[in-house]
Amino acid sequence: MSALTLSSPLLKGFIHADVTLGTSSAVILDANATASRRIIVLIQNKSSTAIIEVRFAEFGSVGIIVPPLSNISLDNYNGHVRAFSDTAGSIAHVAYSVV
């Protein structure tokens, strides 16, 4: 089980989306616009069996493994987020806050 902690006084809400992943890497969150700033990016693996791999970059071939029913978060990240799963049709939840 994961524990989430948020420390920014600027958060007023999150933007949420479920993304269906395939077995090939695809962008699940584009780079942020320069007129705003992301405070936090959170990726949750909603599958109870599939493993997802998340890449905090527009390009590349390796990333961070997110086990089933786990999550990863990154503060102040404004770049691309790419992901794929070992099982086609797996769901990742993406949540982020922008100021």
What does the pLDDT look like over 39-89, one tens digit per residue? 999 999 999 999 999 999 998 889 999 999 999 999 999 999 999 999 999
Domain that holds residue 37: 15-98
Q: Which residue has the higher pLDDT, 42 or 2?
A: 42
Q: Would you say residue 10 lies in a domain?
A: no
83 located within any domain: yes
* Of 7, 25, 17, 11, the residue nearest 95 (C-alpha): 17
| Neighbour-count burial for 43-72, b at 16+ CB within 10 Å, e otherwise | bbbbbeebbbbbbbeeeeeebeebeeebbb
The DSSP letter of residue 32 is P
User: Is residue 2 situated within a structural domain?
Assistant: no
Report the CATH number that the domain containing residue 61 is assigned in CATH: 2.60.120.770
